[in-house]
């Protein structure tokens, strides 16, 4: 049987990315997404082309908006990035000369969904809830987790995506992985970790509001990429835990992140 025909008959594909649109949520540190048509059909005289026409648009956005993957150059500590790379030296010239998003290889690997909202018996976790290593282990159960897998953690928070204020959670906090969960993921030697919030991590109101320990544990200390703003609802509703995971970043030279459209492929 032709390979393409085999895929069409025997698989189901889940789109794990959000739709990009004007007004979508963006963190305060990011340039918001904006798209506008620069040429519309009918803006130019069609006579020279015999009636044919084309349209174009311009897009302005930060690289950490929408569904995206973090490059290893995204974070540093005491001036050094993953592997001890000196951040200031690497960023001379207006882009990162090392650890930029173009260095992330395309991912075609095993994926595992850890549905913490379902584990807790709720539609979505409470604002500011810290997902712990124990939560991840309980959601994993007897399912094996292998080195090089991608782990996706569902809180249900993407349900707020159409309400940017609620999704960003500046007034409420946002559920996400705490430091123990980040270390648990790193200890399993995974390739990347994803979540359905804009920060991946637990966001608490008060003095810990800006603390992001998982970014340090995963990106800085272990070279594990983070994928944020994923839509995991359909995958969870279908009760699918293991799948073929496909993701490829844009080759933006020296950028700190890239928009992505991740896919989960499963047997139909």
Q: What is the pLDDT of residues 151-166, one digit of tens each?
A: 999 999 999 999 999 9
∠ CA 24-18-108 to the nearest 5 degrees? 145
Residue 4 in this model has a pLDDT that exceeds 90: no
34: in domain = no
CB atoms within 10 A of CB 252: 16
Q: Which of 204, 194, 211 is nearest to 169 (CA)?
A: 204
124: in domain = yes
Q: Find the CATH number of the domain harbouring 7.
A: 3.50.30.50
User: What is the structure's pLDDT at 206?
Assistant: 85
206: in domain = yes
* pLDDT-based confidence at residue 6 (cuts at 50, 70, 90): low
Q: Is residue 69 a contact partner of residue 260, using CB atoms and an 8 Å limit?
A: yes
Counting the structural domains of the chain, the total is 1
Q: Within its chain, how far is the Cα of 139 from the centroid?
A: 20
Residue 57 in this model has a pLDDT that exceeds 60: yes
User: What is the extent of the structural domain holding 171?
Assistant: 3-19+63-267
**Main-chain dihedrals φ then ψ at residue 77, nearest 5 degrees:** -140, 130
Least confident stretch, 6-20, 92-106, 130-144, 186-200:
6-20
Higher pLDDT, 208 or 3: 208
Beta strands 130-131 and 176-177 are parallel
153: in domain = yes
Q: Is residue 181 a contact partner of residue 212, using CB atoms and an 8 Å limit?
A: no
Percent of the chain with pLDDT over 70: 97
Q: What is the mean pLDDT of residues 238-259?
A: 98
Strand 242-247's sheet: what is its strand order?
11-15, 263-267, 242-247, 107-115, 150-154, 192-195, 225-228, 68-70, 257-259
* pLDDT-based confidence at residue 51 (cuts at 50, 70, 90): confident
């Amino acid at each position: 049987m032709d390979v393409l025909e085999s895929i069409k008959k025997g698989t189901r594909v889940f789109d794990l990315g959000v739709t990009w649109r004007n007004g979508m949520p963006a963190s305060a540190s990011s340039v918001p997404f904006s798209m506008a048509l620069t040429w519309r059909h009918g803006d130019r005289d069609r006579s020279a082309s015999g009636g044919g026409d084309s349209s174009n648009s311009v897009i302005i956005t930060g690289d950490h908006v929408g569904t995206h993957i973090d490059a290893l150059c995204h974070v540093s500590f005491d001036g050094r990035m993953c592997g001890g790379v000196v951040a200031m030296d690497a960023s001379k010239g207006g882009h990162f000369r090392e650890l930029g998003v173009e260095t992330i290889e395309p991912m075609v690997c095993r994926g595992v969904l850890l549905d913490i909202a379902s584990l807790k018996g709720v539609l979505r976790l409470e604002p500011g809830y810290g997902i712990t290593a124990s939560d991840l282990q309980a959601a994993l159960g007897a399912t094996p987790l292998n080195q090089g897998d991608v782990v996706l953690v569902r809180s249900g928070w993407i349900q707020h995506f159409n309400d940017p204020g609620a999704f960003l959670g500046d007034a409420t906090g946002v559920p996400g992985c705490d430091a123990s969960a980040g270390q648990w993921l790193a200890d399993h030697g995974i390739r990347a970790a994803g979540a359905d919030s804009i920060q991946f991590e637990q966001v608490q109101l008060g003095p810990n509001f800006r603390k992001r320990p998982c970014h340090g544990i995963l990106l800085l200390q272990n070279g594990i990429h983070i994928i944020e703003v994923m839509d995991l609802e359909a995958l969870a509703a279908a009760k699918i835990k293991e799948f073929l995971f496909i993701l490829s970043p844009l080759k933006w030279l020296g950028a700190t992140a890239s928009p992505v459209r991740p896919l989960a492929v499963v047997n139909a």
